[in-house]
Amino acid sequence: MPPSVLFYLAQHARLRPYSVAWIERTSVLNNEPEVIHWGELADLLRGVSDSLFRDDIRRGDRVAIWGFNSLNWVLAELACTALGATSVPLDPRLPSHTVEEILELVSPKATLLGPEHIGRVAGQPLPDWREIRTRGNSQWLEDLLRKEPDWTESQPATILFTSGTTDSPKGVMLSHRNLVSNALAKLDAMPQFPSDHRVNLLPFAHAYARTCELTTWLISGSSMETARGQEDFFARLSTAKPTLLNAVPSVYEAFIDRLKIQSTAAIRSGLGGNVRQLASGGAPLSDRLRGLYGNAGLPIYQGYGLTETSPVVCSNIHPDSGAHACLLGVGPPVMGVEVQIDSDSQLWVRGSNLFMGYWEDSVATERRWKSLDEHESEAWFSTGDLARTIEGTNAIEILGRADDTIVLSNGYKLNPLVLESQLISIPVLQDCIVIPVSQGRWRVCLHLRSGHDSATIREINESIQIRCSTEFRDWMADAIVCQEPWTIESGMLNFKGAKRRSEFVKRYGR
């Protein structure tokens, strides 16, 4: 059983009390940001834990946290761990009515709100670290270091709600063992060190950032600061000079668009000049983007997973791991995770990263498990994704969602993600998505790059035809340009920047 995440924090606080843990930068123009060292962070955590204890938070209670990433957010989350409570972090971009539905579902003992969320639902402000009374922590640290983890399998560490690819997100229950073992597995593939510094953009309310940013930061003892939104993220890179960056593909795309000039020197300097590790997840990464950053000497290391898998199932391997580097597909399964691909190309997983179940939905939980071999006692978890093993390696390539497969009238099965990865190489396309239409046909919805309009549709159609086999080409209905923005606000993307295929089908699948 791996140690508690608090063990790592206490270890850094005792052995490296004056090393930088967190940087609070209110503005990129602020040349003297506030610095919080590991010793101070542990002391602040004790103060926030005491504050929540005085508010009657006890072991087994649920505590909802609704706010943007901040030091206050982190301390509240860790205080829940220290008290044995279950956190329910909510994406700060959710509408109030959705948050109210989730709060009714989980019945939290307390709801802690960031400044922007006060008054939108009933709750109290997140404890402010600047107002926390601290009083030394030597004995408290020793207790954290000596105490054996008290992790029960019946109580989740956190309940994370899925990112909104459907209209009814589920609460995914993850244990401390899930989170810590998966973070250790990610660090095994992509090592991080106390000398590293990261600028965080991804919301901690989702599994990607929760494991690959928050927990890996605490284990590695590196330093972190957090940005408020994409523009703030880009603006502070030259000042912060991070060595580590995690993002979704749409952020890497936006950075290239922002540069205008895509020279290798511009990419490196624009990222601050010190980056040694770029990581991507949450959505497929195009070959074009991979090539642009790779040519700048900054390859993007891709991972794959789901909230239910804590989330990392597979990861590209960084050469610092001491193992053979791998940038193929989404890489091999990470440490402690097994995968199996069945005869229908569906990907199944088992390991210490698998979730405890959906909150108050045992039927949906049981539906995701299956014994693939009658001689095996342990069932496998269905990812719902199609995959293949890249020939001659143990790396995995994700082919798309099984539910998204389009069965054409000629009997052939079209995997949209595979075709989209070929079409996105068409120079005028910013993005595209393949959807089913009536009578066993398919359509391409197009998002054109700036400066191009629908007048180029004939040339695009010709380029699409060239990239399609005859079996698919003859059953293409048409290609249409979608004029509305492909954004989270329009409903076309989920909070991780991935396209909501069901929404495109609803609007353009007639």
CA gap 393, 324 in Å, rounded = 11
Q: How far is CA 264 from the centre of its chain?
A: 27
Specify if 339 maps to a domain. no
Q: Classify residue 499: in a domain, yes or no.
A: yes
Q: Is 484 within a domain?
A: yes
The residues, ordered by sequence, that sit 6+ positions from 424 with a Cβ below 8 Å of its Cβ are 286, 287, 288, 431, 432
Structural domain contains residue 420: yes
- Same domain for 460 and 313: no
CB 331 within 8 A of CB 302: yes
145 touches 170 (CB < 8 A): no
Give 448's strand partners. 429
What SS3 state is found at 379? coil
**How far is Cα 188 from Cα 315, in angstroms, rounded to an integer?**
10
Please tell me whether residues 428 and 285 are part of one structural domain. Answer: no
Residues across the chain: 510
- Within 8 A by CB and 6+ apart from 250, the residues are 283, 493, 497
Residue 176 belongs to some domain of the structure = yes
Strand partners, 292: none
Domain boundary among 285, 305, 320: 320
Longest dimension (CA), the chain: 74
DSSP character string of 422-471: HHTTSTTEEEEEEEEETTTEEEEEEEEPTT--GGGHHHHHHHHHHTS-HH
In a domain, 35, yes or no: yes
Residue 450 belongs to domain with CATH number: 3.30.300.30
Question: pTM of this prediction?
Answer: 0.92
Instruction: Determine, yes or no, domain membership for 334.
Output: no
Last residue of a domain, one of 261, 295, 320: 320
- In order along its 510 residues, the chain shows pLDDT tens digits of 788 899 999 999 999 999 999 999 876 655 688 999 999 999 999 999 999 999 999 999 999 999 999 999 999 999 999 999 999 999 999 999 999 999 999 999 999 999 999 999 999 999 999 998 777 667 878 888 877 666 666 789 999 998 544 456 799 999 999 999 999 999 999 999 999 999 999 999 999 999 999 999 999 999 999 999 999 999 999 999 999 999 999 899 899 988 887 788 999 999 999 999 999 999 889 888 999 999 999 999 999 999 999 999 999 999 999 999 999 999 999 999 999 999 999 999 999 999 999 999 999 999 999 988 877 778 999 999 999 999 999 999 999 999 999 999 888 889 999 899 889 888 888 899 999 998 889 999 999 887 776 657 888 888 888 888 888 888 999 999 988 899 888 889 887 778 899 999 999 987
Q: Are residues 176 and 41 in the same domain?
A: yes
Half-sphere exposure of 94 (CA within 13 A, CB side): 28
- Those residues with Cβ within 8 angstroms of residue 195's Cβ, 6 or more apart along the chain or in another chain: 222, 243
Residues 347, 353, 358: CA angle, nearest 5 degrees: 85
Bridge-based pairing of strands 86-90 and 34-37 is unpaired
According to DSSP, the β-strands at 337-341 and 346-351 are antiparallel
- Specify the residue for token string 């001491």: 322
User: Is the domain of 142 the same as that of 20?
Assistant: yes
Does residue 118 contact residue 233 with C-beta atoms inside 8 Å? no
Question: How far apart (Å, rounded) are the C-alpha atoms in residues 431 and 408?
Answer: 23
End-to-end Cα, the chain, rounded Å: 52
Residue 158 class from Cβ within 10 Å (0-12 exposed, 13-18 middle, 19+ buried)? buried
320, 340, 363 — which closes off a domain?
A: 320
Q: Angle CA(432)–CA(285)–CA(329) in degrees, nearest 5?
A: 125
Which of 33, 101, 35, 22 has its CA nearest to residue 66? 101
Instruction: Let me know whether 292 and 433 are in one domain.
Output: no
DSSP-based helix, strand, coil % in the chain, nearest 5? 35, 25, 40
Q: Which helix (H) or strand (E) holds 218?
A: helix 216-220
Residues 147 and 46 in one domain: yes
CATH number, position 53: 3.40.50.12780
Q: Are residues 276 and 409 in the same domain?
A: no
Domain-embedded: residue 47: yes
Q: What total of structural domains would you count in the chain?
A: 2
Neighbours of 111 (CB within 10 A): 20
Residue range of the domain that includes 453: 405-508
Across the beta sheet with 34-37, the strand order is 34-37, 20-24, 223-226, 197-200, 244-247, 277-280, 300-305, 312-315
